[in-house]
Amino acid sequence: MKTLKYCPQLNAFTGSITASLLMCQLEYWFNHTNGEAFYKFLEPCQDEHYHIGDSWIEEMGFTKTEFRTAFKHIGKIYKSKTEFLKSKDKFCGKLYLSYYDRIKKLTYYLRNNDEASSLLRNLEDRLPYSLDYTSSTDYTPESCRQTLQTSSASANPQTMHTPHTSEPDYPQILHLFHTNCPSLAQVSYLSHKCQKLLASLCDQIREKGLDLFITLEQGFKMVEQSDFLCGRGKFHKWRALFSWIIRPDKFFTILEGAYLPFQQPPALTSSPTPYVSPSAPSLTMQQPSSKPPHKFMRMYTHNFDIQELEANESAYLDAHYGPL
């Protein structure tokens, strides 16, 4: 079975990098269902059909917002099964669609087989494919192979589970990381999410005409030089994980020097206090301290370290709303 791999050429048709990555993953699962529909959870939950690692968030490493935004580029979203069934133009020109079955509490995904197959057929010479030797029966639990009935005549949905694949260059990349980033925790296992992030990062490095391993080594060395990323000194409460570093947007930001050691702001100089002899008591009453003319203290009156503030904000958002 051929599996579509991410390439920058897809972005012209999908509208974004995340949409291209999601399209590759959707095509993977539709290959396993022969183009038929399947259901999948957005995030981990307590539903009896859910299995650990099967949600889109766990599989793709996206946040909920990132996934929804990516899917809107390539798919039509229906809030209910009734809305889906009443629609005359179900795909609205998109490659995929999803609808939520409120009775079963499951979200189903369908493929516009004519449009998607036509697009991929026209781009076949320009798109990279890899052979997938993993059978879906190797990792799909028996309870999830059962056919689920829907009102759609063309769909027999199944739930799709995440396979585990490997690439021969991953050990070399990990060796570069361990050698150049001794301050960070070593990586003993690459999750499916990390593999996809690395594949995307490597493709973008090559697309820029850069040498892959030289660029990776340079980036890892700059990580080690950063007190913030390595959690040294006053930044000891947080340190970067490998899965955070290899996110393409973060990696190229690191290469630009955004996370290099921060310069401490210069200490404010205070005016010298006049000497008062202890034997000569003051005959004047102490005057009250002068108040600022305005209640609002403008930003330029403070000695802010803007670079540090932006980096801390970015790390906080990643820690609370995105994968590290």
Pair of tokens at residue 194: 């990390």
Nearest alpha carbon to residue 108 among 30, 46, 44, 164: 30
Report the chain's mean pLDDT, rounded to a whole number.
76
More confident residue, 202 or 135: 202
pLDDT of residue 123: 76
pLDDT value at residue 162: 44
Strand pairing category for 106-111 and 38-39 = antiparallel
In tens, the pLDDT along 121-158 reads: 877 766 655 544 333 333 343 333 333 333 343 444 55
In this prediction, residue 149 carries a pLDDT of: 39
The pLDDT value recorded for residue 144 is: 36
Count Cβ atoms below 10 Å from residue 5 Cβ, excluding itself: 17
Asked if residue 198 has pLDDT above 50, the reply is: yes
Percent of the residues in the chain that have a pLDDT greater than 90, as a whole number: 28
The residue that leads in pLDDT, 111 or 144, is 111
- 176 SS3 class: helix
Q: State the pLDDT at residue 304.
A: 60
Query: 68 CB contacts (<8 Å, ≥6 apart)?
Result: 77
Neighbours of 236 (CB within 10 A): 10
Chain segment 216-271, per-residue pLDDT in tens: 999 999 999 988 888 887 766 778 888 889 999 999 999 988 887 754 444 544 44
Neighbouring residues of 267: CB distance < 8 A, sequence distance ≥ 6: none
Q: Which residue has the higher pLDDT, 262 or 180?
A: 180
Q: What is the pLDDT of residue 42?
A: 94
Residue type, 203: D
For residue 186, what are the contacts with CB-CB under 8 A and spacing of at least 6?
A: 178
pLDDT bucket at 274, cuts 50 / 70 / 90? low
- Residue 130, number of CB atoms within 10 A of its CB: 13
> Which CB contacts under 8 angstroms, 24+ apart, belong to 77-81?
81/150, 81/151
From the CA atom positions of the chain, what is the Rg in Å? Answer: 27
Residue 293 has pLDDT above 70, yes or no: no
Q: What is the DSSP letter of 215?
A: H
For the record, the structure tokens of 196 come out as 């996809």
Whether 166 shows a pLDDT value over 70: the answer reads: no
Q: For residue 200, what pLDDT is reported?
A: 86
Give the pLDDT confidence score for residue 119 in this predicted structure.
83
Question: Which stretch, 3-12, 200-209, 301-310, has highest mean pLDDT?
Answer: 200-209
**The predicted structure's pLDDT at residue 235:** 67
Structure-block tokens of residue 310? 């932006």
Q: Which of 41-50, 87-96, 164-173, 242-251 reaches the highest mean pLDDT? A: 87-96
Residue bearing the bigger pLDDT, 304 or 119:
119
Instruction: Determine the distance from the C-alpha atom of residue 187 to the mean position of all C-alpha atoms in its chain, rounded to a whole number.
Output: 18
Alpha carbons 256 and 249: distance in angstroms, whole number? 11
Does residue 321 have a pLDDT over 50? yes
Does residue 21 or residue 162 have the better pLDDT?
21
Provide the 8-state DSSP code for 298: P
C-alpha–C-alpha distance, residues 147 and 237, integer Å: 48
Quickly list DSSP for 92-124.
TT-SEEEEEETTTTEEEEEE-HHHHHHHHHHTT
8 Å CB contact between 20 and 200: no
